[in-house]
Chains A and B, each alone.
Chain A
């Protein structure tokens, strides 16, 4: 989906505003939204689905909300979508029906274990033999996916060079939609700044972006 979240290359936003001695959280509700999101993450499936739930917020909400405001909206939406809560319950704050799933919620030490161990996206199975090698020229496909994708719009149709092999990783475009992990080679692809942005860019500068094999096609010399 060509969404509001795909910001790379826009120049309309003005200076980067920074805050001295910025706290980790600005408000207590941010603390709770952060913790709720991590503690409930396994309920809502893989990270790709949860990212897509941010991308499908309406674009005005997306661009005018802070980070944790988006996370709050995502949690409310996913909880309703998955039948854990109803709109009426969110409005009233009163629990009226049981959730449609029974889980044992993470306790403090289990939550800490999730933080310490993480959830690797690499796999030993799937398409484990990379089609491309470091130094190969590739073109990012000029596609227009209807669902979730991690191919930034600025790279589509552009030619770059394979800079690094990252191993075999789950494919977000399918995993976000319950269509399987589809593990495949993931590459760091280097694009010259002028290839992406035109002659205004400094010719020696480069941008490296991580792209899955299904986003790429070979470029013959």
Chain B
């Protein structure tokens, strides 16, 4: 949608409005407002902490963190090795870590193996590297189906894998959080680290997309 001149004029919440009409949304707003006012007035939470948390996850913590890790692994074989052996420590080298990334494992794609990450029991996701998950990752369709029919789900994402490729699904059932290290695309031999990072999408690090070669 980016660049089509339409996005900024679109309704603020077309997706959710499919599921909740305005009256239902008002009820949710009201419940939330009461809960916040009560917890703040009883001095159980502080407003400035709430504002900071929103700001961190809306503005600071997102997929560019994960992309920086991937790009470093692509240009630095020693870093790649450290990342595959002790991802939590290697990721901390670049300044990332913390809540929902306390115990990281990085799984590497190859021509023979494709990795994809899910949490079938809730919606566990590596927040410090990818930010908060998109709705589809949290919805029942993805959580249920990618476990049993990963190839069909990946095809819906536009990713058709060779029958000979081994698909590895990682179900985040514990406090381990998984990041996919995608394959570096052809045609990027002369790319800078920052140029490489710009190619790496959130979806490629979940494993529902590949990193596409740059346009000529």
List residues of A whose CB falls within 8 A of some B CB: 5-22, 24-29, 31-36, 38-40, 43, 47, 51, 54, 63, 66-67, 69, 72, 75-76, 79, 84-85, 89-90, 92-93, 95, 98-99, 101-103, 105-112, 114-122, 150-152, 154, 164, 166-167, 169, 172, 186, 188, 193, 196-197, 201-202, 204-212
Q: Which of A33, A51, A116, A205 contacts B98 (CB 8 A)?
A: A116
Q: Which A residue sits closest to B42, measured CB to CB?
A: A99
B32 touches A210 (CB 8 A): no
Q: Is B207 an interface residue (CB 8 A)?
A: no
Q: Is B194 an interface residue (CB 8 A)?
A: no
A40 touches B122 (CB 8 A): no
Q: Which of A43, A122, A205 contacts B166 (CB 8 A)?
A: A205
B132 touches A18 (CB 8 A): no
Q: Is B144 an interface residue (CB 8 A)?
A: yes
Q: How far is the CA of A95 from the CA of B34 in the complex (A)?
A: 10
A150 touches B45 (CB 8 A): no
Q: Which of A18, A76, A204 contacts B31 (CB 8 A)?
A: A76
A49 to chain B, nearest CB (A): 13
Q: How far is the CA of A206 from the CA of B168 in the complex (A)?
A: 5
B36 touches A118 (CB 8 A): no
Interface residues of B in 185-207 (CB under 8 A from A): none
**Set of chain A residues within 8 Å of B174, measured between Cβ atoms:** 121, 150, 166, 169, 172, 186, 210-212
Q: Which B residue sits closest to A86, measured CB to CB?
A: B38
B19 touches A209 (CB 8 A): no
A8 touches B135 (CB 8 A): no
A34 touching B121 in the complex, CB below 8 Å, given contacts A7-B140, A69-B28: no
Among A14, A34, A63, A92, the most chain B Cβ lie within 10 Å of the Cβ of A34
**Set of chain A residues within 8 Å of B134, measured between Cβ atoms:** 18-19, 22
**Set of chain B residues within 8 Å of A204, measured between Cβ atoms:** 164-167
Interface residues of B in 125-176 (CB under 8 A from A): 128, 131-132, 134-136, 138-145, 147-151, 153, 156-157, 163-176
A9 touches B35 (CB 8 A): no
A115 touching B53 in the complex, CB below 8 Å, given contacts A7-B143, A120-B102: yes
A75 touches B144 (CB 8 A): no
Please name 14 further chain A to chain B contacts, defined as beta carbons within 8 Å, in addition to the given A90-B38, A108-B49, sorted by A numbering.
A11-B145, A13-B140, A22-B15, A24-B62, A31-B54, A32-B33, A54-B122, A63-B140, A99-B44, A106-B49, A107-B46, A117-B98, A167-B103, A205-B150
Q: Is B51 an interface residue (CB 8 A)?
A: yes
Interface residues of B in 23-60 (CB under 8 A from A): 25, 28-29, 31-39, 41-46, 48-54, 56-58
B37 to chain A, nearest CB (A): 6
Can you list 12 contacts pairing A with B, beta carbon distance less than 8 Å?
A12-B144, A24-B131, A27-B25, A32-B36, A33-B32, A36-B32, A67-B135, A84-B42, A105-B45, A107-B49, A111-B49, A116-B99
